[in-house]
Structures are given as structure tokens and as C-alpha cells.
Amino acid sequence: MRIGKVTKIILGILLLVFVLIQLVPSEIPEVSFENEGDLFAMPGMDEEVAGILRNSCYDCHSNETSFPWYSFVAPMKWLVVKDINDGRKELNFSDWNNLGKREQIKILEEMMEEIEEGNMPLPVYTIIHRDARLNEDQRNKLSEWTASVTEKIFGE
């Protein structure tokens, strides 16, 4: 099969555009594994819950983001950076202990609502990260945990 001249020109232009968009700056969010205010520093943190949160939430909602290879290639890089920045702005588990008790309770309630409605983790995230999908047992475990932490915060 022969590729026509027009097809070669179009492919060449697409390749050039792809190469040029790699030059568009997009600052990758900072990664830190030394977070004194992290949720996991909370006394009595349930290990199973910690595992669920780390697997399904921490890439977007903490400073401990793991960047796969595609997060360095535009245009995927732009989407990944936007999702992480939005996620951290909404909730950053790395800053958990720096939040007030009312804010923690509000976040726990919102978190559970998002999980119960199937909005979190984001469906676009779970397309690639299938192991981040929450099953019914995990959602129940998170629900029980958020209720117990909320009760503990109220009791303080």
C-alpha cells in the first residue's frame, strides 16, 4: 500500500505539532513524601483504610503523587497536571492535620458523599488505574471510617 503525498504532508504536520506542543510549559506539581501534617500521621489510623486511600485517592489528593510516563507527554501532561492541582486544591491529605476540626468534618462528609455517588475516584482516572476502583466493601469500610473519625473529632 502506497501512502500518498497529501497523507505524508498531513502526517508530517501532525508530527511537527506533536513535537512543538511538548515545548509548551506545564509545571508538574511538587512531590513530597515528608508531610508532617499528613492524614496517615493521625493516631490510630486504620491500616486497611490507609491502603484504600493510598491506592485510590493519594495520587490526586496528596503531595505523594506518582507520575506515570504519560504524565510527561503533552497533551496528557496538561490533563494530569490540571486534575492533580484541582484535587489538591479541593482536598490535600498531606495537609490534614493543619485543618481545623470543622473543616475536617466537612471534608469527611463531602468525601463520603462523593464516594457513595461514584464520583470518586474520577472515572477518567480509573480507566487507566483499574485497581483504584472502589468495590462495595471498600466503600463500606471508608463509610465506617469517616463516621468514626467524625465522631472522634466531635468528641474532642
User: pLDDT digits over 51-82, tens only?
Assistant: 999 999 998 899 988 888 888 888 888 888 89
On the 0-12 / 13-18 / 19+ scale of CB atoms within 10 A, 153 is middle
pLDDT at 51: 93
Residue range of the domain that includes 74: 5-155
Number of domains in the chain: 1
pLDDT at 79: 87
pLDDT in tens, 127-144: 888 999 999 999 999 999
